[in-house]
Each structure stands twice: as structure tokens, then as C-alpha cells.
Amino acid sequence: MKKRKIGVIGCGAIGKAHIQRLADRIPEAEVSAVSDFFSEAAKETAAKYDTCFYQTGQELIESSNVDAVLIASSDASHADYVLACIQAGKPVLCEKPLALTAAECEAILEAEMKVGRQLVQVGFMRRYDSGYAEMKQFVDDGKIGEPLLIHACHRNVYQPDTFQTDMAVTNVAIHELDISRWLLADEYRTAQVLTVKQNSKTRGDYLNPQLMLLETRSGARIVIEVQASCAYAYDIQCQVVGENGVVNLPDPPRICSRSDAARQIPLMTDWSERFVQAYETELQRWITGVIEERVDGAGAWDGYAACVTADALIRSRQTGEAELVKMMDKPVFYM
Ligand code: ISE
């Protein structure tokens, strides 16, 4: 079997976790190249995995030693690297968000249409989580009737010192923006951020929590509570309410202990542990897509849809009003 040579840009926490997964779990892939804005991090990773170090992401993308690229660098760097991959004609899995703004995503859509082949997959790994996948099947099978509402919570324990208010949308709620339109097979019409009582324990200068309200074109409503930090655990909740019933995202299985007159089920605190199965399935399906020359899961269009909505949420925080989510008509290329 010819292994696909994967270049990884970004050797921070998520980059390293992906490299380990590729090495341990994906026999059809080998990590052939790494790079990072902080070259020491890339050099260390290259030594650990006996792979090649590249000074810049651009050099890695252009190298003949790389068949496909995984981008796990800082959010602000995603769009330029994705464009470079498209220009080099190489498949790319880009961690979420695809870009920081819808305008950057539009450039990506244009570039992809110009080369005439879908190359971009976006790291919306929740679509591969078995819990979300079961919910989606349940909704699609009509088991709760017409969906009316989604209640979602995204609660984090901590954030890096560099965290800012907008990142609660672009980096955190972006998952719910994708998964909700996927679960409902609907697009958004409006987006609004509501002012809520703030957590006085937040360490940093950002709004926490934030409550986001979305309305879809068919009139369904989605309420997302985002606690970027200071929550009791990393807790992801999602409930779809339909005309005939509701369906809930299952919590990941954990042991249940009984002692001191209490029944206890531990919760996770670190987001990187919660969706391990989803990340693994995502990588497996991405590599299969690379081999079969197609994109699996969320593509550039989905990355764009999430970013247009994120832009509207950020505008809404400034205007205090519900903002229209102004998406371009879907090009035939993405149908
Ligand atoms: C983090 O950056 C992620 O990427 C996780 O997927 C998300 O759940 C978490 O809230 C973010 O802080």
C-alpha cells in the first residue's frame, strides 16, 4: 500500500495530537513533514517522529515530499495556508475555523472553483462523533417530527491568556454553528448575541458567558450558551426539540461510582479528551477521501456558512440587534 505523505502545519496541542493519531491509527498515512511558526516546536516534533522539518508552512505545502496538508496552526493563519494548498493542488484538512471572516472564505471558494476540484475539508469533527451522528439519523428518520428548536451549551474550564470576546464565536461557538445547520439541514436567517449577567471570576478581558440566538430560514430557533471559561467542566450539551419529541446528545460513557452516600460520574475538563473518537474517525475519513480524490464531511462551503454566521453574531454584539446572515447563493460546484 502506498502511504499518503502528510505535512502538518502547527505543532501545538491539537497539531501534536493529530500527528500522534496519524502515526498510531491511520496506516494509510505517514507524517512526512512538519512546520510551526515557532520553529523549535516543529524541530522537536520532527525529531520525535523522525520526520522532516520545514522552516515555513509555504515551503511544506510546496514540497514534493507532501501529498496532502493538515493545518493546525493559529486560527488567523488558516486562510492563507488553505489558499496556498489549493494553488498547489493539494488536499487539505484545515482545523476550524476555515478563516476568521466570511470574506476570507469567499476567496477560498473562488480559488477552489477556479481549480475545478474540491480540495478543502474543514475540521468540524463533531459530525463524526457517534452521539451527534445518531441524533442526526434520528432527526432525519422523522422520529421527533419536524424540528423546532435546538438548546445547546458549550462550557469550557479555561482559555489561553490570548483569548478575546470574538473568539467565543470564531473559536468556540463555531462548532455549534456548524453542527446545528447540519442537524437541521437548514441555513440561518438571523443571528444575535444577547447581553447576559457576566461571570465575575473570568480571568481576562472578554465577555463570559455569551448567549447566542439563531433563527433558520424555516423558522427554527437555536439557543447557544457559551461559557468560554470558568465552567465546572468541559461540557457539551445539545437537545433538538421536535413536534413529536426531543433527542439529546449522549454524554460520553464514564464509570459511575458509589461512595460516601453519593453516586458520581466524573466529567471531563479538557476539550481535547471529549471528542477523541470523532477526531480519529475524521482523520480516517479524510485520508480515505484523499485516496479517492474527494472531500468527506464539511467542505469549504460549510466553513464559509459558519463564518458568515460568525460575522453576523459579531456585528450583532455591536448593534444590539438580530443581524441578517447574508450568504451568497450556493454555487452549483458545491451542490
Ligand atoms: C477549542 O479551541 C477547540 O477547538 C474545541 O473544539 C472547543 O470545544 C473549545 O471550546 C475551544 O476552546
Please state the pTM of the whole predicted model. 0.97
Give the closest residue to 84 by CA, choosing from 102, 103, 101, 66: 66
- pLDDT, residue 172, reads 98
- pLDDT, residue 240, reads 98
- Whole-number Å distance, alpha carbon 126 to ligand 1 midpoint, is 11
- Whole-number Å distance, alpha carbon 333 to ligand 1 midpoint, is 30
Measured CA to CA, the distance from residue 70 to residue 85 in angstroms comes to: 10
Q: 97-151 pLDDT, tens per residue? A: 999 999 999 999 999 999 999 999 999 999 999 999 999 999 999 999 999 999 9
**Which residue's C-alpha comes closest to atom 6 of ligand 1?**
271
Dump the DSSP string for 236-305.
EEEEEEESS-EEEPPPPP---EEETTEEE------HHHHTHHHHHHHHHHHHHHHHTTS--SSBHHHHHH
**Which residue's C-alpha comes closest to atom 12 of ligand 1?**
172
- pLDDT, residue 210, reads 98
- Whole-number Å distance, alpha carbon 171 to ligand 1 midpoint, is 6
- pLDDT, residue 1, reads 78
- pLDDT, residue 164, reads 97
Q: 300-319 vs 102-115: helix axis angle to the nearest 10?
A: 160
- Whole-number Å distance, alpha carbon 271 to ligand 1 midpoint, is 6
3 state SS of 46: helix
Residue count of the chain:
335
| Average per-residue pLDDT for the chain | 97
Ligand 1 atom closest to Cα of residue 125: 6
Measured CA to CA, the distance from residue 145 to residue 138 in angstroms comes to: 10
- pLDDT, residue 32, reads 98
Ligand 1 atom closest to Cα of residue 14: 4
Measured CA to CA, the distance from residue 239 to residue 184 in angstroms comes to: 12
- pLDDT, residue 125, reads 98
Span between the terminal Cα atoms of the chain, in Å: 32
**CA-to-CA separations, 54 to 3, 8, 130, in angstroms, rounded:** 20, 10, 36
Q: How many CB atoms lie within 10 A of CB 208?
A: 23
Does residue 69's CB lie within 6 angstroms of at least one atom of ligand 1? no
Ligand 1 atom closest to Cα of residue 154: 10
- H or E stretch at 57: helix 57-62
Q: How many CB atoms lie within 10 A of CB 278?
A: 19
Q: 196-238 pLDDT, tens per residue? A: 999 999 999 999 999 999 999 999 999 999 999 999 999 999 9
β-bridge pairing 68-71 and 52-53: unpaired
Does residue 171's CB lie within 6 angstroms of at least one atom of ligand 1? yes
- At residue 5, φ and ψ (nearest 5 deg) are -90, 120
Please, are residues 201 and 325 in contact by the beta-carbon 8 Å criterion? no
- Whole-number Å distance, alpha carbon 228 to ligand 1 midpoint, is 9
Q: 270-325 pLDDT, tens per residue? A: 999 999 999 999 999 999 999 999 999 999 999 999 999 999 999 999 999 999 99
Does residue 208's CB lie within 6 angstroms of at least one atom of ligand 1? no
- Whole-number Å distance, alpha carbon 88 to ligand 1 midpoint, is 29
Q: How many CB atoms lie within 10 A of CB 17?
A: 15
- pLDDT, residue 2, reads 87
**Which residue's C-alpha comes closest to atom 2 of ligand 1?**
171
Does residue 170's CB lie within 6 angstroms of at least one atom of ligand 1? no
Does residue 271's CB lie within 6 angstroms of at least one atom of ligand 1? yes
- At residue 283, φ and ψ (nearest 5 deg) are -65, -40
Q: 7-55 pLDDT, tens per residue? A: 999 999 999 999 999 999 999 999 999 999 999 999 999 999 999 999 9
Does residue 172's CB lie within 6 angstroms of at least one atom of ligand 1? yes
Q: How many CB atoms lie within 10 A of CB 134?
A: 13
- pLDDT, residue 77, reads 98
